Structure 1
Amino acid sequence: MKGDFHVHTPFCPHGSNDSIEMYIEQAINKGITELTFTEHAPLPINFIDPTPDQDSAMSWEDLDAYIQVIENAKKQFQSKVKINLGFEVDYIEGYEDATTSFLDQYGRYIDDAILSVHMLRSPDSNYVCIDFSSEEFARIIQMFGSVEAVYDKYYRTMEKAIISDLGAYKPNRIGHLTLIHKYQRKYAVDQRYHVTIERLLDLIQEQQLELDVNTAGLYKEECLELYPPLPIIEKAIQKGIQWKPGSDSHVSKTIARGFDQLKIK
């Protein structure tokens, strides 16, 4: 079965207006037999989106419509492709209870889901979004004092996400494990964090979670590698960790993009 398990929709404020049907038709044309829509779940109500455009996630007002549109698409295309209703849920340090509450309320609709880290608690106890832009990342480095300090905070937060208790509907897959490397070709780090990442793989295995193998990084000019890169994926497989490919598409034409590069031993 060939699937794309990380796909966004027109409900994403920083995405495109491509319709759900456009994503599905593109998937069918590329031979995809299973498709998971993982729209950014609404942020906790009392959490202020730290991105300059405040466009990180779908609004609470759109939530019911999103569910209905995906449920309708499941029925409409059931003879051609298996469609899963999902979310990309943000792990936000300090907002675990609010996230659990969301999952408890909407978990019954979820077929498949991803848990990702985009937001870090900053030294001044506010929050920053690590993947908004290269310019914003430069500001974050200045705030933390060094690029290494930002990476360290990201991986500590990712560890908390992996071991967090978010209730019965905690997402079963960890999203783009090495997203912090998005700007690595511009803001280099002295260490490659292999030991840190391998420890996280051990925790993922212990928690019986899956890995999102995300091809979007291949097409980010300051990254140019998978999230996570192939050697880490191969280590994950050696540890018995299941993985699923995801294009992280925000436009329909990028469905399954880069999947030909997933030559995994």
Structure 2
Amino acid sequence: MIKDGHIHTSFCPHGTKDPLEDYVEKALELGFKEISFTEHAPLPESFIDPAPASDSAMRQGDLEQYFEDISRIKAAYRGKIKINAGLEVDFIEGFEQETKSFLNNAGKYLDDSILSVHFLKHGNKYECLDYSPEVFGKMIEQYGSIEALYTNYFRTLLLSVRSDLGLFKPKRIGHITLVKKFQKKYPINREFKGEILQLLEAVKMQGYELDYNGAGYSKPLCREPYPPDWVAGEAVKKGIPLIYGSDAHQVKEMGQGRSVMKYL
């Protein structure tokens, strides 16, 4: 099944206003048989978005309209392409109960979903690690080293896999090497192989999938998919399903990275 399992929409504050129909038409043009709209789920009410523009996720008040719009587009394209209503849910350390409660309410509307780490807890503070090279650089200063930042990222990812988020917890883990988004500006000599293999083993034990995300290849300071070939290869060896995701935030980004992704 040719699927794009990670697509954002006009409900994303940091995306574009491209209509859902345009995404579906582009998917058909690219030969996809199935797509999942996975908008950034609303953040917990008590969590303060640390992104400078406070634009990390859709608003809670838009959630009902989001699902209604996807239902409409499903009906319009029935028989032509399988369309899933989904969300990309943030795992935020310390907000597990709020996230579980949200999923218990929203889960009945979900056909598909992704669990991702964008926010790292450091002391009593949270930062959005993929917001910009400048924010990432400041995080390195706060942590004392880039190695410490990477270590916290993979620790948090492992927490996300093992966390109890209830019956509707997403079964696909998003872009597991997102911490490498700015690697050409902030290079690191370690592959964190031990941490990544431990993470893959946890994913396998839970019976989860991995988001095989093409967006990293299109990022000028990354230029490789999330995860890169060696990690994807280890996942395949373990029998972990890799689900392609464009992570498109505008129609023109659909299909990004596919040409270089070895395990599609």
TM interval, shorter chain, is over 0.9
Q: CA deviation at 1:202?
A: 0.3
Q: In structure 2, what residue type is equivalent to 1:84?
A: N
1:23 aligned partner: 23
Aligned-partner residue type, residue 85 of structure 1: A
Deviations 1:12-60 (A, max 9, x none): 0000010111111111111111000000000000100000000000000
1:56 aligns with 2:35: no
Distance 2:263 2:126 in 1: 36
Shift of 1:260: 2.2
Matched, 1:99 2:87: no
CA displacement 1:167-206 (0-9 Å, x = unmatched): 0000010000000011111111231111110110000000
Is this contact kept in 1: 2:210–2:241, CA < 8 A? yes
Between the aligned partners of 1:54 and 1:103, the Cα distance in structure 2 is: 22
Asked whether the equivalents of residues 36 and 112 of structure 2 are also in contact (C-alpha less than 8 Å), the reply is yes
- Find the aligned partners of 2:26 and 2:252 in 1 and give their Cα distance: 7
CA separation in 2, counterparts of 1:260 and 1:142? 36
One-letter code aligned to 1:40? H
Corresponding position: 1:127 with 2:126: yes
Are the counterparts in 1 of residues 86 and 111 from structure 2 also a CA contact under 8 Å?
A: yes
Per-residue displacement from partner, 1:137-169 (whole Å, max 9, x unpaired)? 111111111111110110100000000010000
Question: What is the CA–CA distance in structure 1 between the aligned matches of 2:255 and 2:35, rounded to whole Å?
Answer: 10
Structure 2 contact 209–242 (Cα < 8 Å) conserved:
yes
When normalised by structure 2's length, the TM-score is: 0.98
Structure 2 match to 1:196? 195
Distance between the aligned counterparts of 1:68 and 1:54, measured in 2?
Answer: 25
Runs of 4+ in 1 over 3 A off after TM superposition: none
Give the Cα–Cα distance (whole angstroms) in 1 for the partners of residues 29 and 65 of structure 2. 26
Whether 1:210 and 2:206 are equivalent positions in the alignment is no
Deviation readout 1:72-118 (Å, 9 max, x if unpaired)? 11111112110000000000000000000000001001000000000
Gaps of 5+ in 2: none
Equivalents in 2 of 1:220, 1:116: separation in Å? 18
RMSD: 0.9
Q: Which amino acid in the other structure matches residue 185 of structure 2?
A: K
Determine the C-alpha separation between the residues in 2 that align with 1:85 and 1:68: 10
The DSSP-based 3-state class of the residue aligned with 1:97 is helix
Aligned to 1:37: 37
SS class of match (1:183): coil
Structure 1, unpaired ranges of 5+: none
Tell me the distance in 2 between the aligned counterparts of 1:219 and 1:196.
Answer: 25
* 1:259, distance to aligned residue in structure 2 (A): 1.4
Instruction: Indicate if the aligned counterparts of 2:209 and 2:243 stay in contact, CA closer than 8 A.
Output: yes
Q: Which amino acid aligns with 2:73?
A: A
- Paired positions, count: 264
Q: How far, CA to CA, are the matches of 2:223 and 2:189 in structure 1?
A: 18
Structure 1 residue 262: Cα displacement: 2.2
Please give the alpha-carbon distance, in whole angstroms, between the structure 1 residues aligned to 2:108 and 2:75. Answer: 18
What does the per-residue CA deviation read over 1:193-247, in whole Å, with 9 as the maximum and x for residues that have no partner? 1111011000000011000000000011111111000111111011011110000
Residue 248 of structure 1: aligned partner? 247
Q: SS in structure 1 opposite 2:181?
A: helix
- Cα separation, 2, equivalents of 1:109 and 1:242: 23
CA distance in 1, matches of 2:14, 2:128: 13
Equivalent residue of 1:206, what SS?
A: helix
Residue 234 (1) aligns with residue 262 (2): no
Secondary structure of the residue aligned to 2:36 is: strand
List per-residue Cα deviations over 1:105-133 (Å, max 9, x = no partner).
0100100000000000123x110000000
* TM-score, with length taken from structure 1: 0.98
3-state SS in 2 of match to 1:72: helix
